[in-house]
Chains A and B, each alone.
Chain A
Amino acid sequence: MNKKAKQPFNLQLFLHTRRSLAIAIGLVLASVILLVAVCIPQIKASLEVNTTIAKENERLTKLKQKFSELSNITYQPEYEQIDFVSATLPSHKPLLELITSLYAVTQKSGVVVSNFEISPGLVSTSSAEYVNTGKGAYDSLELKLSVGGTYDQLQQFMLLTETVTPFTTISELSLNATFDNESATVDQSKASSASLVTTTFFFTQPISVSLEQPLPKLTTTDQIVLNELASFEKIDLPEQNTILGGGSEDIFRVAKLRFPGAQVSSETVSEL
């Protein structure tokens, strides 16, 4: 007997007799396409957005925290000290401030400055940019001076020098004091002299901040420094409110030209 020959697949017959199966296959294919093309990408995207939300929320919290700190900072007592700290440690070479404070201290203590020498170096550049030659965060300005007065006055001068703005330290000292022959102690009333080198400091550190960077927090040590600064005296630069004229002489001496209040010299006036 011959074996039954395998019948070729008849699509029409299949669709006619097994319609439900064909539809089911179609539905399965559609499910797979839906899963791969829609569900999985959407779920992936949702997870990514969720991660981004967590990260951005954290950033938003930091920004809000910083804004809240900035809003409240002006009410803190330390904020009132900002100008004083700037005067104590200026951001520029405090040449004028140093000379002004030196003058104020000599007036207060009663010493006489017989000699002073300062080499400020570069004070200004064509671009007005500071050229940092210091230790990074700060630089210093040296002043050599010789003062004379009684021992008490010299002591007072040295004490005051280190308690006025800008921040100054006596880095070298040579004192010629007179001893009292009877008591073997320093004669407080006799004239003495001293040569000093003072070092005045100023701030040179470049600072950069980002929007998300929190405000710096003041530590206990910073509070101690602020308390120390309370004993300092701020020396302000005197403000010039009037123009100091050199007189009203007519320096041009042009004929037929008269400046109000000008004094005309008796010499021959040149004509135009």
Chain B
Amino acid sequence: MPKNINFVRDRQRWVEKAQAQDQKILLFSSIALGIIAVIGIVAGVSHWLLSRNLDSILSEQKSTKSAILAEQPIEESYTIFAHKLRVLTDLFGNRKNKQEALTFFSKFFGPGVIISQLSYSGENNEILTFSLSAQDIFTMERVFKQLKSPELLAAYPDITRGGLSRNDSGVYSLKLTVVLPDIVLEKES
């Protein structure tokens, strides 16, 4: 006769097997928790370090801004100076246009012809109206011939002749209207 009868042998085997499996699961879950905890700590520390870095950058920005504000009068005068130079560029360009045209026309027609009147019109003063005065009709005839010359038309293609008049002293005047080309200021070589 057997000494004892084990009615739960199968169950015991099942429980032992289950507990062994549970131990494995416990091990893996502990490792997972550990890893996640480490990640959390690393993320927290890096956030803290980055925040410190950001604070120092912001503090440096503040001190640099204060330093710039202290130099405000210099910045103001220099900025206005630069803007004024831009405006002067336009004004010089427009005037150089006129000066070059007047110099050209004064020399082109030779002695005995002078520019006696001039005025500007147009949005950017690009239309120059002037009168050429000549001592006599022979000089004026020379002017008429020269107005047709290719050299003049190449330099100022848009030129219109106006009225011809003669005053009591015998001086002949011819009105001309010229559209001045756009000019770009260039450094003299």
A interface with B by C-beta (< 8 Å) = 17-21, 23-25, 27-28, 30-31, 34-35, 38-39, 42-43, 45-46, 49-50, 52-53, 56-57, 59-60, 63-64, 66-67, 70-71, 73-74, 78-79, 81-82, 85-86, 88-89, 91, 137-138, 162, 167, 169-177, 179, 183-186, 201, 203, 205, 207, 209, 211, 215-216, 218, 220-229
Contacts and interface: CB of A to CB of B under 8 A. Distances in A.
A71 B71 contact: yes
A74 B74 CA distance: 8
B189 interface: no
Contacts of B100: none
Nearest to B112: A184
A185 B135 CA distance: 7
Given A31-B33, A215-B79, A221-B185, A20 B88 contact: no
Interface stretch (B21-29, B144-152, B154-162, B174-182): B21-29
Contacts, number: 219
Given A31-B36, A53-B50, A173-B118, A138 B87 contact: yes
A203 B26 contact: no
Interface centre among B91, B120, B136 (most CB of A within 10 A): B91
- Pairs A-B, 5 closest by C-beta atoms: A42-B43, A20-B22, A216-B82, A21-B22, A27-B29
B64 A64 contact: yes
Given A52-B54, A64-B64, A70-B75, A42 B47 contact: yes
Contacts of A176: 116
Interface secondary structure of A, over-half rule: helix
Contacts of B22: 18-21, 24
Interface secondary structure of B, over-half rule: helix
A67 B72 CA distance: 10
Interface centre among A27, A73, A79 (most CB of B within 10 A): A27
A228 B188 CA distance: 10
B187 A56 contact: no
Interface size class of B (residues with CB under 8 A): 35 or more
Contacts of B118: 170, 172-173
Contacts of A46: 43, 46-47, 50
Given A63-B68, A85-B85, A184 B33 contact: no
16 contacts: A17-B18, A24-B28, A42-B46, A46-B47, A59-B61, A74-B74, A85-B85, A138-B87, A162-B99, A169-B94, A173-B118, A184-B111, A184-B139, A215-B79, A222-B82, A224-B185
